[in-house]
Chain A
């Protein structure tokens, strides 16, 4: 396990370097001149040129990249062109919002997905199974922003249970108000993952329930609940855990749309603003950071999968 952890961490380093190089190259293709945007509409061509030099934008790409990399390895990702704040501060200020909705989405999707998956998988072909499968199919088909709008219409406008949009930090509104503002975004983000967990868990359960060792367990007189909890779930849940691992990293990507829809000040909306305004240092910082997060989340998920592996001597399941 430790070896795998070290190998994965080491393999992430060249990946991060590669991604940062790609980002640098791709931002060259972005139309528009950040110096012109920064100088304002009343600036003369000379002032814009001066600013370009001051920002180092007149340097060749490789020179700018090596300078950035040199500073980045020392923990300095530069300063945003437009907000004058360090890129790390910008990310750190926004990360709690994104982390909160992603965590919320993860919890909600696991709870919903496991509940529906169990309900359907235990009685394949039943009305409950059809209902769970239909809900899951719907969840896969509906994009985050459509689900978000539907949830707003239902839970906020019609039932008036939750706020429509916005973010209230704990320091201003307390924990309850903070949480209320994050329920809908988390739910909108959770839809796809919940649907996938449902489908995977249901299929896993249906297949595993037919295994010989499950029949043996039943023959021993164990209750259905015990059979599922002790013998079926560990095996049946593996595909669902694998899907969760992949999606957990993707949730950060999905948060871009959800944050815009719900007016949340997270990393997703920061990314949108950075790209739209050509805030190069912010783009250079955010993208490798997102990759780092994806690698970290995937690593955690893989370690969980490894722990669930029913190999001889690990779980005793095959003995």
Chain B
């Protein structure tokens, strides 16, 4: 009853969020494009730590990708709505199921003067596949060989049909092509002392994990996409982000969401602009559903009904919306809104399902918990109390943050954990990694019947509508079989000075944001 009364407000919240997104998506740029940019202006960004180094192939932190994109550009770009757009690759297509071809932009130059061409892309992919320490070998595993057909055509032979997934792969690290000249000169230490790409801005300085500065690259192939004199990433931020923008110390902040009331107050005074955007990371009870008692579908469904998601979301992400029964964000093009609130909070139904499953006296299980974590430690305590009302006795197994992912997905000796899962920008990748039988992040090591097949079909086509059809079916299988227990999606909070244009926040993995697609700029006075 309580839940039903909350749904409309939840929907309104999401509509509001989507409206915020739409305001800053390319459709909203037409008006912004009429405003002239101040080409001599730099912006200061807080809340985004500098990368560890500038080698896109060996990096490990997901949130540094947005910063690397300023130097490298990407072969494929992701629009704020999750759709793909041409980048350094003008177009791409599946020649057949096992051949993927990309046509590259011509007359593009790296920042060291080396021409950007098919040979550079081939060298980059081969390096990413073979370099010891590459963190993207698995993403590129389906590519058997790469051929530079001519200066602007790259053809890849695939072991399995992956034309639908590859654009999202090439929108990330794999699509950030470094200058082959620079890579050859630096060897394995490439990136430690800067990086050379074909992006709109060139490297100036880096203090790893702290600050990072870039200046405009005057020979960038798409000058309309480079509207600033430079960007200074000023590192992680303290609690005074809004004040730093007010004081003129910074122009843009990726903020902690618990500062939302302050951001709203500053925005209502007209001091700053702000956006709250749904992310694709979600808090969840991750279960290894190959192990008892969660190998029983009825027990899993009982657990779903034992959680008041809206109450938890309101407590842990107030004002940000996001209660969810699905691993896919409500803003994802592959999300089926019919699955919203699929498992309403109903302790009586949960108890009934447990009894049906053969557990009339309830179920006891042990969960890995980050006890000292400011969010997920408290979340575990709240969940423990909440699900106890439905007959689930959750005991805590304190696990260190550095261990939990490894124990869940690699060693598979942690059957349950209360943690967040960082979904990919591409819904297909999220579903594959978490739920396919060979998924990296699937602790059970098995899948629901038909799920692997649907994911393979979605990966084989480049038609987004077609992919959405398969992924919606896959999402339904995941939700109906309750092999995931998502609770709420996290959101990103961004605040920026009103003089800044083209701040587009969309379906991001991280709260950092996006600085090059569309290009962020300072309005001319």
* Chain A residues with a Cβ under 8 A of chain B: 30-33, 36-45, 47-48, 50-51, 54, 80, 82-85, 90, 93-94, 149, 152, 156-157, 160, 163-167, 169, 172, 261-263, 265, 269-270, 273, 278
Residues 21-58 of B, flagged 1 when their CB comes within 8 A of A and 0 if not, give 00000000000000000000000001000001101001
Bound Cα distance from A166 to B45, whole angstroms: 11
Bound Cα distance from A227 to B52, whole angstroms: 58
Residue of A nearest to B192 (CB): A84
* Nearest 9 Cβ contacts at the A-B interface: A32-B402, A40-B135, A31-B400, A84-B192, A265-B210, A83-B208, A42-B138, A265-B207, A263-B235
B55 near A84 (CB under 8 angstroms)?
yes
A164 near B135 (CB under 8 angstroms)?
no
Instruction: Enumerate chain A residues within 8 angstroms of B250, measured Cβ to Cβ.
Output: 166
Select the stretch in B238-246, B258-266, B356-364 that faces chain A. B238-246
Shortest C-beta distance, B95 to chain A (Å), equals 26
How many residue pairs, one in A and one in B, have C-beta atoms under 8 Å apart? 125
**Given A42-B139, A83-B52: A36 and B406 within 8 A (CB)?**
yes
Instruction: Enumerate chain B residues within 8 angstroms of A166, measured Cβ to Cβ.
Output: 46, 234-235, 244, 249-250
B441 near A41 (CB under 8 angstroms)?
yes
Instruction: Enumerate chain A residues within 8 angstroms of B16, measured Cβ to Cβ.
Output: none
The verdict on B410 contacting chain A, using a C-beta distance below 8 Å, is yes
A261 near B400 (CB under 8 angstroms)?
no
B410 near A36 (CB under 8 angstroms)?
yes
B207 near A94 (CB under 8 angstroms)?
yes
On chain B, the number of residues with a Cβ less than 8 Å from chain A's Cβ atoms is: 47
B135 near A165 (CB under 8 angstroms)?
no
Residue of B213, B236, B410, B440 with highest tally of chain A CB at under 10 A: B410
Bound Cα distance from A57 to B207, whole angstroms: 27
Shortest C-beta distance, B253 to chain A (Å), equals 12
Instruction: Enumerate chain A residues within 8 angstroms of B401, measured Cβ to Cβ.
Output: 32
* Chain B residues with a Cβ under 8 A of chain A: 46, 52-53, 55, 58, 60, 132-133, 135-139, 188-189, 191-193, 205, 207-211, 213, 234-240, 243-244, 247, 249-250, 400-403, 405-406, 410, 433, 440-441
Bound Cα distance from A54 to B131, whole angstroms: 13
Contact of B133 among A38, A80, A164 (CB under 8 A): A38
Bound Cα distance from A144 to B327, whole angstroms: 42
Residue of B nearest to A97 (CB): B207
A-B contact pairs, 23 of them (CB 8 A): A31-B403, A32-B406, A36-B410, A38-B60, A40-B60, A41-B60, A43-B138, A50-B132, A82-B208, A84-B189, A90-B208, A157-B247, A163-B247, A165-B237, A166-B234, A166-B244, A166-B249, A167-B235, A169-B205, A265-B207, A269-B209, A273-B208, A273-B209
Contact of A263 among B53, B238, B405 (CB under 8 A): B238
**Given A84-B191, A165-B249, A167-B211: A51 and B135 within 8 A (CB)?**
no
Instruction: Enumerate chain B residues within 8 angstroms of A83, measured Cβ to Cβ.
Output: 52-53, 192, 208-209
B240 near A165 (CB under 8 angstroms)?
yes
Kindly list 6 other residue pairs between chains A and B, CB separation below 8 angstroms, not including A32-B406, A41-B405: A43-B138, A80-B208, A85-B208, A90-B208, A263-B210, A265-B210
A31 near B244 (CB under 8 angstroms)?
no
Instruction: Enumerate chain A residues within 8 angstroms of B243, measured Cβ to Cβ.
Output: 156-157, 164
Instruction: Enumerate chain A residues within 8 angstroms of B240, measured Cβ to Cβ.
Output: 152, 156-157, 164-165
Shortest C-beta distance, A40 to chain B (Å), equals 3
